[in-house]
Amino acid sequence: MKKITVISGKGGTGKTTVISNMAALAENLVLADCDVDAPNMHLLLKPEITGERIFKSGKLAVRDESKCTECYLCLEFCRFGAISANFEINPIKCDGCGVCAAFCPAGAIVLEEQETGYIYISESEFGPMIHARLKAGADNSGKLVSEVRKEADKVAKEKGMELILIDGSPGIGCPVIASLNGVDAALIVTEPTRSGLSDLKRVLEVTRHFGIPAMVVTNKYDLNEGIVAEIEEYCWQMDIPVIGRIPFDPVVNQSLRDGELLIRYREDSKPAQAIKTIWQKFKETMVL
């Protein structure tokens, strides 16, 4: 079984568009939407939710006012500035480290586990799909990513699937690192803009840091072919295969606005054809 994460560094380059359309071309796959901050794949694939469970993570300190002797120890020990001068605990600033609870001489503080999200086990037209929803402002998105992936692994094993495609988050921090942990390769969707290139370089440093093979797709390539050349030159130097280019075409946006898969919406369109070619190249590269 192969696991591949689709990431981009920069947001909005087309990760979800690429992965959803690839899913429609694939056989025997499990999809995992690990962009838990802003999950969108379900909007395109419209899966039927067959199972749901609560995700518990991230503890919060809770104070029992009647026991508190206002000794200031918690205020002194808290490194997150979560305790105010009148001993109220700010749930947004609290990191759930447990120091205040462990050292409160009056035993007035306890750590409580929070329900911070939901994990959904669904069935899409193209195969099982695992996705999640994190409560607004919640901590620990990396842990939720790991939980979604565990669920995807389980389903893939049960059903004997050959491929898990993981939709990652923008950025290079904790949820991205969690989505890359132990995968066979990363497919990076970039765009020929100064920002796209700057972010691509950072994300490729991350995949190299963790020793994960990467391959690159340039979306909206005809927006600036000079930068496409720079991207491809940079990838060539880094020994990273570029497996395709997708043109900038309003039809992509139209299909998204109508909530439909591009390869169904306009199968003959140039970007749809490009994604088909990329899928072939992807299969060859990954020996699927």
Partner 1 sequence: MKITVLSGKGGTGKTTVATNLALSLENVQLLDADVEEPDSYIFLKPEFGEEYEPVKRTVPVIDEDKCTACRKCVDFCEYNALAMMLDKVLVFPEICHSCGGCMRICPEKAITEKEREIGKIRWDESGKEVEFWQGELNIGEESSVPVIEHLKKHINDEKTVIIDAQPGTTCPTVEAAIDSDYCLLVTEPTPFGLNDLKMAVEMIKEIGKPCGVIINRSEEGYNHIIEDYCKEEGIPVLMKIPFKRRIAELYSVGIPFVEELSGWKERFQELYTRIKEAIEK
Q: Which residues bind partner 1 (CB under 8 A)?
A: 8-13, 16, 37-38, 40, 43, 59, 77, 79-80, 92, 95-99, 102-103, 111, 134, 136-139, 141-142, 169-177, 191-196, 198-199, 202-203, 205-206, 209-210, 220, 223-224, 227, 248, 250, 253, 256-257, 259
Q: How far is the CB of 34 from partner 1 (least distance, A)?
A: 13
Q: How far is the CB of 178 from partner 1 (least distance, A)?
A: 8
Query: CB-wise, 4 or 78, nearer to partner 1?
Result: 78
Task: Assess contact for 273 and 238: CB atoms under 8 A.
Answer: no
CA nearest neighbour of 181 among 137, 134, 148: 148
Query: CB-wise, 38 or 229, nearer to partner 1?
Result: 38
Q: How far is the CB of 37 from partner 1 (least distance, A)?
A: 3
CA nearest neighbour of 163 among 40, 283, 63: 283
CA–CA distance, 167 with 15 (Å, rounded to integer) = 7
Q: How far is the CB of 258 from partner 1 (least distance, A)?
A: 8
Query: CB-wise, 155 or 186, nearer to partner 1?
Result: 186
The alpha-carbon radius of gyration of the chain (Å, integer) is 22
Q: How far is the CB of 12 from partner 1 (least distance, A)?
A: 1
Half-sphere exposure of 85 (CA within 13 A, CB side): 0
Query: CB-wise, 95 or 232, nearer to partner 1?
Result: 95
Task: Assess contact for 34 and 168: CB atoms under 8 A.
Answer: yes
Task: Kindly state the tokens that stand for 19.
Answer: 């992965």
Distance of CA 70 to the CA centre of its chain: 43
Query: CB-wise, 156 or 179, nearer to partner 1?
Result: 179
